[in-house]
Structure 1
Amino acid sequence: MASLGVAMTGIRERRAVFGEAADAYEAARPGYPSDLVDDVLAHARAGDAPVLEVGAGTGKASVAFAGRGLALTCLEPDARMAAVLTRACAPYPGTAVVVTGFEQWQPPAERFGLLFSAQAWHWVDPASRWTLAFDALRPGGTIALFWNRFSVDDTALRSALTAAHSRHDAAELAPNTLGDPEPAVADPAPAWPLTDLLADTRYRDAETRRYPARHTFTRDRYLDLLASISAYRMLPESWRVPLFADIARTVDDRGGSFELEVETHLYLARTSDQP
């Protein structure tokens, strides 16, 4: 069997594989806490200013913000993901879906009061993303970036699922949903979004917040979750199918469902007041 690193490289670009599993993504991925939406909107104080979402996917975050009556523009580069997104946002007439990447998009003259990105900012070009965001936001506008982090606190189940990955030479993928079994250090270094924001003089008042939750995952929902993660999608089918079958048996052997810890990490900042 080829090495995992070799299997995850090739013709397909990793950030472009999500559309292959758009339905699984929509079915399995958890949404975002209403408290997070409240906090982002309170921080933005955007009023009637338009709002921009970068990398909207199937609309997991889009609908939560669109439901607050915002004038929302959603950018999504994958047409297959955007088709699901468009259906999800159909009840919200103030929402527009644009099938494009942030790097290729031509912003309107009116700047945005809030830019948010859920589970997607790491896919935007590192060399230009902070400039693109700054140019899209009005002075004092808010940028809000957030990700769901998964973990399993059931030690026996985590060990069994890690072992299933190891049997298929895919142990390094397990932390995507199982978390790090090692205890966290007392004062961890800040994650890269906060580090970048603190170092960029165009942004101020950078901070991070966390929102813990628990979600019940059946075997099938868990497999859909894995199928929606780029690292698993990059595996050849001949590798992924037996791995998923082993994982399914492992979950079935432990009752067919389990609790997944989902902690949402939010990074907030404002643009400087200078245009």
Structure 2
Amino acid sequence: MPTLPPDRTGSSEDEPHRHRDVAESFGTDPERYDRTRPRYPEDLVAAVVDAAPGPRVLDVGCGTGIQARQFQAAGCEVLGVEPDARMADFARGTGVEVEVATFEAWDPAGREFDAVVAGQAWHWVDPVAGAAKAAAVLRPGGRLAAFWHAFESPPEVADALEAACRRLMPDAPWHRTTSPKKAVDGYQALFTKAAEGIREAGAFSGPEQWRFDWEWSRTRDEWLDLIPSFGSLTRLPPDLVAQVLEEVGAAIDVMGGGFTMVCATVAVTAERNRCA
């Protein structure tokens, strides 16, 4: 469920990793982010752990530590790298070791890892420089896995959110939650860019896509609690956020106060070459 800047020109300036203002806006309310954002499918975590040669995991853009804690629960030793000190502080409070830096500028200090993972974060990393950095810190046979959520919300909810966002912030990135197929198709350019970066790094096997389908039920209050954590809204004044929530909440009320979303989580993943 990444929030991407609008593609106005197709130039490199519109690539997500260049929009640090959006990437580092989520820390305005780390408690809400951690409370409301969905966890990752256990099957995904298990697949990455099984494919890695050992338990040492580097979590790129670890945020509040959501996926880091899941990998810890699976028996991994996790180090997070996070550019936002506010998010990093929150993650540390939940038991995750975190170093504050962008991944491109982070100093590994000779450390090596069995897996490099990124949940909802790899689009904020330069795809070529990031893959090269991952290759440099992975042991031979190590696993790089970047993964994203795609949601299906009811059309009534998606329409209300889209209408409010377009009216209140017409020039800002806005968030549309569509069917998993449409969302996955819509994010395919992002997946392709990640895969191209992995190929260009020249140190990995051919990248693959792993998909995991799941369902997520939300009440009205739970969904409205999540919306302000979207990247399109984190920098919006509170009064405008309140207007968005009022309109979306009214749509959910008409539906009976809740709904179940069909979701997909897609990983772009590759193995570090075993030979130099």
The corresponding residue for 1:23 is 31
AA paired with 1:124? Answer: V
The one of 54, 59, 62 aligned to 1:47: 54
The residue aligned with 1:76 is 82
2:149 corresponding residue in structure 1: 148
2:116 corresponds to? 115
One-letter code aligned to 1:125: D
SS in 2 for 1:231: coil
Distance 1:218 1:100, change over 3 A: same
What is the deviation of 1:197?
Answer: 2.6
- 2:21 corresponds in structure 1 to 13
TM-score by length of 2: 0.81
1:166 deviates by: 4.8
- Classify 1:111/1:271 alpha carbon distance in 2 versus 1 (closer, same or farther; 3 Å): same
Task: Return the offset for 1:269.
Answer: 0.2
Tell me the distance in 2 between the aligned counterparts of 1:192 and 1:233.
25
**Structure 1 CA distance, aligned partners of 2:184 and 2:146?**
22
State the one-letter code of the partner of 1:61.
Answer: Q
Distance 1:196 1:128, change over 3 A: closer
Deviations along 1:73-128, whole A, 9 cap, x unmatched?
Answer: 11122222122212322xxxxx5222332223211324211111111111123452
SS in 1 for 2:92: helix
Report Cα offsets for 1:58-86 as digits up to 9, x if no partner.
11111110112222211122222122212
Q: CA 1:17/1:155 → structure 2, altered by over 3 Å: closer, same or farther? A: closer
Shift of 1:12: 7.9
Distance 1:116 1:210 in 2: 15
Relative to 1, partners in 2 of residues 1:182 and 1:133: Cα closer, same or farther, differing over 3 Å? closer
| d(CA) in 1 for partners of 2:103, 2:167 | 39
Give the gaps of 5 or more residues in structure 2: 7-18
CA drift of 1:15 comes to 0.9
- After superposition, residues 207-218 of structure 1 pair within 5 angstroms as 207-218=208-219
Which amino acid counterpart does residue 65 of structure 1 have in structure 2? F
- Where does structure 1 lack aligned partners over 5 or more consecutive residues? 6-10, 90-94
Amino acid at match of 1:212: D
Residue among 32, 36, 39 paired with 2:44: 36
For 1:15, give the aligned amino acid. Answer: A
Name 1:61's counterpart in structure 2.
Answer: 67
User: For the pair shown, which has the larger CA radius of gyration, 1 or 2?
Assistant: 1
Q: Residue 15 of structure 2 corresponds to which residue in structure 1? A: none
- Residues 184-239 of structure 1 show CA distances to partners (whole Å, capped at 9, x for unaligned) of 87xx7763222433454221131111111111112222123221111121334443
After superposition, give the CA deviation of every residue in 1:121-177 in whole Å (9 maximum; x if it has no partner): 11123452122111111222110111111222x3444445444445546597241x3
Letter in 1 for 2:215: R
Q: Take 2:161 and 2:109, find their aligned partners in 1: how far apart are those partners?
A: 48
TM-score by length of 1: 0.81
Q: How many residues were matched structurally? A: 256
Read off the aligned partner of 2:78 and give its amino acid letter.
L
How far apart in 2 are the matches of 1:220 and 1:240? Answer: 15
Give the corresponding residue for 2:9: none
Structure 1 residues 70 and 172: CA distance shift in structure 2, 3 A: closer
Aligned-partner Cα distance in 1 for 2:78–2:157 = 41
Task: Give 3-state SS (helix, strand or coil) of 1:23's partner.
Answer: helix
Alpha-carbon spacing, 1:161–1:19, altered in 2? closer, same or farther (3 Å): closer
Q: Partner of 2:106: helix, strand, or coil?
A: coil
Match of 2:245 in 1: 244
